[in-house]
Amino acid sequence: MNKLLLHPAAKPLIFGLCLLPLAWLVWGAVANTLGANPAETLIRSTGDWTLRFLCLTLAVTPLRQGFGWSALARLRRMLGLFTLFYGVLHFLCFAWLDMGLDLAAIVADIPKRPFILVGTMALLLMLPLAATSFNRAIKWMGAARWQMLHRAVYAVALLALLHFFWMRAGKNDFGEWSVYALVVGALLGWRLKRRFSAR
């Protein structure tokens, strides 16, 4: 696996795969194949892919340490940035398709609806993580402070789950949410176990 991940074509290939969800949504919008409510499909799909990329990002360290796939570390930054990318798309779809890009209405609406408030908080928390995801930032901040900041990804994951939970609460449909909760719970539980066992 390490040999495959270290191949020069691996990163460009995975980058292209990460863009496939966007390509599918753009094609669906152009070809009018997004169903009876294209706006809702775009908002929901970009949100789903944000959560999926967040799970993939969180899975890098357990897979790297559990299976010895050390080369996965070189993909973590890219996966994290794609998480932010789809999160921004999710917010923009909401702002455009649901709120008509009315900034005053968006600002007023965020605190009124709890699921939008926590989703916005998760997105804002991702911004400093993306801004400091580069090697120069690690040198500038120091490894200890950088690691402390990037532990905020756990808060992002919990806020994202809460956002999804409240969104589905209106329809009393928690099946898909339960799958994500199990995945995120397992990944965060693995980290907590490693942290306490190291003491």
Rounded average pLDDT over 164-181: 86
- The number of folded domains in the chain is 1
In this prediction, residue 198 carries a pLDDT of 61
pLDDT at 82 over 80: yes
In order, the DSSP letters of 111-179 are TTSHHHHHHHHHHHHHHHHHHT-SHHHHHHH-HHHHHHHHTHHHHHHHHHHHHHHHHHHTTT--HHHHH
pLDDT at residue 83, as a whole number: 97
Mean pLDDT of all residues in 191-198:
75
pLDDT of residue 199: 58
- Three-state SS sequence of 37-48: CHHHHHHHHHHH
- Condensed to tens digits (0 to 9), the pLDDT of residues 24-53 reads 999 999 999 999 999 999 999 999 999 999
- State the average pLDDT over residues 47-65: 94
Report yes or no: 34 and 94 within 8 Å, Cβ to Cβ. Answer: no
In Å, what is the CA distance from 106 to each residue of 38, 91, 109, 114?
Answer: 20, 10, 5, 13
Question: pTM for the whole thing?
Answer: 0.93
